């Protein structure tokens, strides 16, 4: 998803606080918004309702969300880098002298048709919106237009976390700092390390994340492409070890065909085969033709695709482990039952011999 306005984060607040790249501008639109409704006053002699229509001028949704972000108490179920696990993280919210919580600026009402008076209301709403935003930011931000969001995990240690935002003169919000770092909050690679033969894959995922956090999307795409290539090579090595692949045919094949060959022989994860026709092409275009902005826009989707492949590798490894475990247990059960059967046969034979005597 592309985040261009602050209100785009309304359903993704933890992402804004913990994962959103540093030094990326997000617009706060201060222009007034409008909603409309109508009210029935009474009915005339013909039983026709007399209706008055109301146009409500409201603060922009970006401004409303900034108020919610800064002043309302919030709980996030998220990964704490200090506790090394997910738990509730709390933001208590700032208590301001004048919270300016009311979002309604003014209301223009009419019965039959709009008049020139509407323009006056529109202009007044614009002025009030700007004034309120200035009053609110003066209370919330310091003299350098900096806002610090303080957070705390709910473990017994109550670990402290914080995020710092800068408000520009043209009303852009920039995340200029956070502690712990974006990489510290990324716990997605822990389980994958156990199933990857090439340990450099997780390191290169980390490098991709570092570049992304600094808006260097092309470089991040390059690392993702390298990772995809390494995952193919890792599956090839498994097939090669089992003498289940024609090495020359594989080496001469294109990247797309290499995945097809591996999948047909059961060595490539299903999801890798599903996205194979386009993922490598997209990554290559990102490296050679797309702009930094385009790569940053599409990075999260490409990264998730790589992680889904890794998740399937984890599932495959678990399945193989469980198969071996189950097979060993079945062998034990079979041996135990076979021993009992032999013993029983011997006991029966011995009994029969005694009877003969």
Task: Write the DSSP string, 14-72.
Answer: HIIIIISPTT-EEE---S-EEEEEEEEEEE-TTS-EEEEEEEEEE--HHHHHHHHHHHS
For the cut 90, the answer to whether the pLDDT of residue 27 exceeds it is: yes
Nearest Cα residue to 64 out of 92, 23, 116, 105: 105
CA distance 287 to 225: 9
- Top pLDDT among 108 and 311 is at 108
pLDDT band of residue 296 (cuts 50, 70, 90) is: confident
Q: What is the pLDDT of residues 301-322, one digit of tens each?
A: 998 898 888 888 878 778 888 8
What is the per-residue pLDDT for 198? 67
What is the per-residue pLDDT for 342? 64
For the cut 70, the answer to whether the pLDDT of residue 287 exceeds it is: yes
For the cut 90, the answer to whether the pLDDT of residue 176 exceeds it is: yes
Cα distances (angstroms) measured from residue 64 to each of 54, 59, 132, 238: 21, 7, 11, 55
Cβ atoms of 65 and 26 closer than 8 Å: no
Cα distances (angstroms) measured from residue 152 to each of 9, 11, 91, 93: 21, 20, 7, 12
For the cut 60, the answer to whether the pLDDT of residue 99 exceeds it is: no
Query: How confident is the model over 203-219, as a mean pLDDT?
Result: 85
What is the per-residue pLDDT for 191? 62
pTM value is: 0.65
Query: How confident is the model over 48-77, as a mean pLDDT?
Result: 90
The DSSP code for 5 is: B
CA distance 210 to 192: 19
């Amino acid at each position: 998803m592309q985040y261009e306005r602050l209100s785009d984060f309304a359903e993704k607040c933890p992402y804004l606080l913990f994962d959103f790249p540093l030094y990326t501008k997000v617009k706060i639109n201060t222009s007034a918004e409008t909603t409309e409704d109508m009210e029935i006053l009474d009915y005339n002699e013909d039983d026709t309702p007399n209706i008055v229509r109301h146009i409500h001028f409201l603060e922009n949704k970006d401004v409303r969300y900034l108020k919610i972000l800064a002043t309302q108490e919030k709980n996030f179920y998220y990964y704490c880098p200090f506790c090394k696990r997910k738990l509730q993280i709390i933001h208590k919210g700032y208590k301001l002298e004048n919270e300016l919580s009311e979002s309604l600026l003014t209301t223009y009402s009419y019965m039959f048709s709009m008049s020139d008076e509407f323009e006056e209301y529109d202009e007044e709403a614009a002025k009030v919106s700007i004034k309120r935003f200035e009053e609110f930011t003066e209370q919330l931000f310091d003299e350098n237009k900096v806002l610090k969001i303080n957070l705390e995990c709910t473990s017994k240690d109550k670990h402290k976390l914080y995020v710092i935002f800068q408000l520009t003169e043209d009303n852009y919000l920039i995340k200029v700092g956070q502690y712990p770092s974006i990489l510290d909050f990324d716990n997605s690679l822990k389980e994958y390390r156990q199933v990857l033969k090439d340990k450099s894959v997780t390191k290169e995922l980390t490098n991709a994340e570092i570049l992304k956090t600094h808006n260097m999307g092309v470089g991040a795409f390059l690392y993702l492409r390298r990772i995809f290539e390494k995952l193919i090579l890792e599956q090839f090595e498994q097939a090669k070890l089992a003498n289940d692949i024609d090495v020359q045919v594989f080496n001469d094949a294109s990247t797309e065909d290499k995945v097809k060959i591996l999948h047909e022989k059961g060595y490539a994860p299903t999801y890798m085969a599903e996205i194979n026709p386009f993922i490598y092409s997209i990554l290559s275009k990102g490296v050679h033709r797309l702009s930094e902005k385009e790569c940053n826009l599409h990075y999260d989707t490409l990264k998730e695709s790589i992680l889904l492949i890794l998740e399937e590798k984890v599932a495959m490894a678990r399945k193989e482990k469980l198969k071996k475990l189950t097979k060993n247990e079945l062998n034990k059960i079979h041996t135990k039952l076979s021993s009992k059967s032999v013993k029983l046969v011997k006991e029966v034979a011995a009994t029969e011999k005694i009877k003969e005597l």
